[in-house]
Amino acid sequence: MPDGRASVDDPATRFTRLYDQSYRRVLAYALTHAEPHTAEDIASEVFLIAWRRLAEVPDPALPWLLTVARNLLHKQRDSGRRRRVLADRVAALTGPQDLAAWDVAEHVVEREAALAAIAGLPERDLETLALVNWHGLDPRQAAKVVGCSAATFFVRLHRARKRLARALEGDPAARTLPHVAEEVAR
């Protein structure tokens, strides 16, 4: 260009804007499912794919980017490994150094009960709730990330919220997963 400025449609400019707006959220998503070094690799790979397929990246881009991250995470490890990592993180949150991170839980219910309720949820419920509550996606965008219809996601979200509410109320039927009894016994 004669004046030395990049055009609005310039791929490098669009990618830079996309990266600046979304990298932290993609990394945060990856950190909820993987160890820090793995999450950084996943986030980097997401943006490598985004650069290669820039013309296919829709607006808004975040659901598409999180879908790519989710697919990469599924390739990285099986669900058992993800569950162990998540359980370790929840266990780490019981230390005094993380009180600020869970301040809301301190004001709503007892901290231990909240952590036990969260730890007792199935992985699918955790992901459903995280996409909407922690990553700020609306249910239609989150449905694209997990690869289902919006109606199916609305049902998943409703059921996940009900299971969490029952678990917070102390309903033992809400915690039907066998790993919960094993974790409590440890």
Q: What is the CATH number of the domain that holds 166?
A: 1.10.10.10
Is residue 82 included in any domain, yes or no? no
Q: What CATH number should be reported for the domain holding residue 61?
A: 1.10.1740
Residues in the chain: 186
Range of the domain at 50: 8-77
Nearest to 31 by CA among 153, 135, 177, 137: 135
Q: How far apart are CA 1 and CA 155, in angstroms?
A: 51
The answer on pLDDT for 95 being more than 90 is no
pLDDT tens digits for range 118-137: 888 898 998 998 898 888 88
Does pLDDT of 139 surpass 70? yes
SS3 60: coil
Q: What is the pLDDT of residues 150-166, one digit of tens each?
A: 999 999 999 999 998 88
